[in-house]
Amino acid sequence: MSQNPANWSPVTTEHLLLRRLERTDYEAALRIHTDPRTNLHNPVTPTAQSAAKLLQDFLDHWDREGFGYWAVAERDAPGTVIGFTGLQRATVDDRDILNLYYRYDPAVWGRGYAKEGAREAVRRGRELLPELPVLARTTASNILSQRTAQAAGLQHRPELDRHYAGLPEVYLVLGWPEGSADGSAETGAVAQKASAATGSTTPSPVNSSSATGP
């Protein structure tokens, strides 16, 4: 059953305005997602075409589920999108989950916005969809991404980690049952399923929780 969008947007935190994505966010999505600095730990930097598809996937999720990734602005500058964060439904290892996503304009790195937005996303997800575990996935080299997920309450579960396209991936979770792991091997089919659900720009789910710039 889809969510009531009014429970998910707009949302304010101490410094941020989190709102439903709109088609007019295309330029911001293109600017942020194709910036090489936001893709330092990803195998491929998205093109303009793949960034446009990514935004469309985000919009479709909102239409279908009643919630999804937010466009992020500073509360005192609500007209300027500085990033994207939030939760989307996905499937990993045949388990329904909420995928945690965060990506910000390098101009606002270092202000704690990624952690602030991620905390609110996780809080709302656990309140409104408590039956679904929250998962953040990133490359092992992206320490900032891992710290952002941990600041939102997620914990690293090494038994869930895996490799994709030769890159080690770290899985951080909240609400994932203990003792249920199936992530030790290369899992292309699972990764592609998660990628389709989350709108990742590569077959790997690495991009689904990019958090360069905390």
Q: How confident is the model at residue 196 (pLDDT cuts 50, 70, 90)?
A: very low
- Structure confidence at residue 182 (pLDDT): 55
Q: What are the domain boundaries of the chain?
A: 5-209
Average pLDDT along the chain: 86
Please tell me the CATH superfamily of domain 5-209, with its number: Gcn5-related N-acetyltransferase (GNAT) (3.40.630.30)
**For the residues 149-176, what does the mean pLDDT come to?**
93
Indicate the pLDDT class of residue 169, thresholds 50, 70 and 90: very high
Above 80 in pLDDT, residue 128? yes
What pLDDT is attached to residue 103? 96
The pLDDT score that the predictor gives to residue 197 is 35
Mean pLDDT of 73-100: 97
Instruction: Specify the pTM.
Output: 0.84
Phi–psi pair at 145, nearest 5 degrees: -65, -45
Q: Which of 46-50, 71-75, 187-191 has the lowest mean pLDDT?
A: 187-191
Assess whether pLDDT exceeds 90 at residue 40. Answer: no
